[in-house]
Amino acid sequence: MTDNLDELYEQAMDAFNKSDYLIAENLFHRILNINPRFADIQNKLGIIYNQTNRMERASKAFEKALEINPGYTEASLNLAITYSDLGKYDQAREVFERAARISKAGSNEIDPFIKGKLANEHLKIGAIYTDLKLLDEAIDEYQKAIRLAPNFADIITQLGIAYREKGEYDEAIKQFSHAKEVNPRFILARVHLGLTYYSRGFYGLAEEEWQEALKIDPSNAAVKTYLNFVKPQQS
């Protein structure tokens, strides 16, 4: 960078970090008019477009950043998120799986931060498949997420829900129990384990899970309601 570019960049980053996106956007464009080959600036513009709900422009900026630097992991993840927001789920999955491969190729292990972001993207796509009742596809996405983040109790719980909706109750119980082991205070795992037991007629086991959940959060209205379901069944 020349001195002029350095000054513009400092001003642009100062505005960007303060969320003064209009000023930052104008300054970033001035820099690109001088030299269009800055992947970082294309990525920052993509973030601005995403945050100001110009998703198509955001995707184009992230794509440009990756055209300049194909190994730019942050831009890949940002593009995947934007594709997902646009409903381009297959493209989103392709981009962040490629990002995972590139990250791993560059080192013996993927950075934990990158793993978490990739796992959350698989989780989001899995949730969409679940809503569409495409349960095999949802299970596949949740399993990919868990391979990246094996100790995320929320992802394990979502996998259990998908198995239960598919009618695979034993596998659902296994996943909810595993989520409890990972995080004993994660109430949602206990709630869904109780619901699965209840649906199978194991009312005592259901009550046990909900009572434990209530100990963790005594004000949880949903758990109190579920416990009221159990009482008539056991009388």
Domains of the chain, earliest start first:
1-108 (1.25.40.10)
Which of 8-12, 55-59, 70-74, 95-99 holds the top average pLDDT?
55-59
Q: Measured between alpha carbons, how far is residue 150 from residues 74, 179, 181 in Å?
A: 22, 10, 12
Check residue 73 and give its pLDDT: 78
Q: Which two tokens stand for residue 50?
A: 């995403």
CB 50 within 8 A of CB 58: yes
pLDDT of 209 above 70:
yes
CB 210 within 8 A of CB 231: no
CB 195 within 8 A of CB 169: no
pLDDT of 2 above 50:
no
- Per-residue pLDDT, averaged over 35-64, amounts to 93
CB 27 within 8 A of CB 12: yes
pLDDT band at 58 (very low <50, low <70, confident <90, very high): very high
pLDDT of 70 above 90:
no
* CA 81/CA 103 separation, integer angstroms: 17
Q: What is the pLDDT of residues 140-165, one digit of tens each?
A: 999 999 988 899 999 999 999 999 99
CA torsion, ordered 199, 201, 207, 209, to nearest 10 deg: -60
Cα distance from N-terminal residue to C-terminal residue, the chain: 78
Cα Dmax for the chain = 81
Check residue 103 and give its pLDDT: 58
Handedness of CA 117, 118, 119, 124 (dihedral sign): positive
Residue 108 makes CB contacts below 8 A (sequence gap 6+) with none
pLDDT of 106 above 70:
no
* CA 26/CA 129 separation, integer angstroms: 39
CB 156 within 8 A of CB 179: yes
